[in-house]
Amino acid sequence: MKNITTRIATIAATLVVTAPLLLADARADENYRARAFAMMEKDFSGKGQATVDRIQADGLQTICNRTGNKPPAEITKQLEADQAAGIKFPADGKLMGNWKEGEKIAQSGTGFTWNDERGAPPGGNCYNCHQLAPKELSFGTVGPSLYQFGKLRGNTVEMQQYVYKKIFNSKAFNVCSEMPRFGHIGALEPERIKHLVALILDPESPVNK
Ligand code: HEC
């Protein structure tokens, strides 16, 4: 009996000591978030089509930001399903376009900046995060290399669907993915996503040579 009482007393004492610390931590977190946001707002001045509202996080991004990109497992599947539900497919139902067009889109990093022509179709910027083909002078490594993706994973209907959906909305598969949701944000329309699917899966594409 004495043992239990001592234990309860110890737990209560621990709570009394740690609760204010946890609360202070949470407040410090909020404080940092607010300061980081104020800093971004100050440094990023809107100009032309590049307006400041783009630094506002949507609901999903807020969940990812607040959970260190690890939302509770029990809601992750639902969040991914919500993202998948918004994916739109090409009117003709075909998912393979022309890899040559896809290459132009993948290697273009223009679009949405204040000095880009308003309304000009933006590039896919894929090279900034992925290796695509050996002739590239430089590429980023935030994402995995896609060199030989089609050769290794196969150009099946299932794979075409996966690549199409991944480009349309990467968060349908990986809820806090760092890859932009190209279709979801309206940067790439279904017709242009098809060209990128061909770039990645067509056996004739330099990605698969
Ligand atoms: C800001 C960086 C970034 C950009 C830009 C980007 N991606 Fe990604 N991509 C990633 C990351 C990180 C992953 C791996 C994590 C994940 O799956 O979400 C990934 C994963 C992928 C995958 C799945 C790979 C696999 O093994 O299943 C494909 C396909 C892909 N990207 C294609 C593209 C294409 C096409 C573009 C251009 C339209 C593009 N990505 C632009 C970061 C990026």
Residue 79 lies in a domain: no
Task: Determine if ligand 1 sits within 6 Å of the CB of residue 170.
Answer: yes
CA 189 to chain centroid, in Å, comes to 17
Spacing, Cα 150 to ligand 1 middle (Å):
14
Q: Considering only CA atoms, which residue is closest to atom 36 of ligand 1? A: 126
Average of per-residue pLDDT values in the chain: 91
Residue pLDDT, tens place only, 39-86: 888 888 888 888 888 888 999 999 999 999 999 999 999 999 999 999
Same domain, 115 and 195: yes
Classify each residue of 28-65 as buried b or exposed e, where b means 16 or more C-beta atoms within 10 Å of its C-beta. eeeeeeeeeeeeeeeeeeeeebeeeeeeeeeebeebbe
Q: How does residue 107 score in pLDDT terms, banded at 50, 70 and 90? A: very high
Same domain, 101 and 204: yes
Longest dimension (CA), the chain: 79
Query: For residue 15, what pLDDT is reported?
Result: 66
Spacing, Cα 97 to ligand 1 middle (Å):
19
Indicate yes or no: pTM above 0.85: yes
Mean pLDDT of the 164-181 span: 98
Query: For residue 24, what pLDDT is reported?
Result: 75
**Which structural domain range is residue 180 located in?**
85-208
